[in-house]
Amino acid sequence: MAAAAFFDLDRTLLRRSSALALAGSFRDRGLLSRRQLAKAALMQLLFVARGADATAVQRVAEDGLRILRGFTPDELRALVASALEPVLKPLVYRDPLALAREHKQRGEGVYIVSAALQEIVDALASELDFDGALGTVCEVENGVYTGHSVRALHHVAKALAVRELADEKGFDLAACTAYSDSASDLPFLELVGHPVVVNPDRDLRRIAADRGWPVLEVSAREYPHARRRVPPVVFGIPVLLGAAVVSWRYSRSRERRSSLT
């Protein structure tokens, strides 16, 4: 294979964050409190509204790993496997998956590259017939997760991991394609000869327009009849959401006033 296609996961191949989609499963296993679940939902809403810069992605990713402390890799793999059909597959976008299949038919490798946990991207790559996946690797000691990362795959680290894979497999990066929705993935997109943006956030949409990169707007699901699990209602989310919005608007107004002084 002289070339490959690399797909970001959250909001590129899936309709929303895989971690947030799995929050109900973590909650059922006692790994996530109602307060943590509400916080995760709010962060997702703010990311959608504002876009996610590299620092925010890193902070949220590292915070999320803490809930795994004391959990075993086999337990996590079992959790993800049980959530594939009811939770994750209903989120898969039809058009990006069709593009992955086209790349594969041309003899190119297809890979998921994401800040999501390696165990999540491995399961999805296998289920969707990708050639492999690169994700965040959580540290394991004495058979259980420590809650810290060995490899946190976001921003520049994502591009470095793709370069290492390309060197290992002999891919010509100038002939490769990368798909993402977020400006935080700019180093990843700039690494290849054919960057494509999917449902981009505000900053990435502007960058794509400036550079003439293709923009895909997708919405249809590949598995519209897959069994969907409705996550539990989180008590207090409306109140917390209101507080978060007020806090965000206040911080934005302070930023604007600071820039004028």
Furthest-apart CA atoms within the chain: distance in Å? 57
Mutual angle of helices 73-83 and 118-127, in 10-degree steps: 40
HSE-CB of 125 using CA atoms within 13 angstroms? 23
Catalytic residue among 8, 122, 181, 201: 8
8 is catalytic: yes
Active-site residue flag, 10: yes
Instruction: State the distance between the two ends of the chain, measured CA to CA, in whole angstroms.
Output: 56
Catalytic residue among 10, 181, 185, 201: 10
Nearest CA to 187 among 200, 175, 178? 178
Q: Looking at the annotation, which residues are catalytic?
A: 8, 10
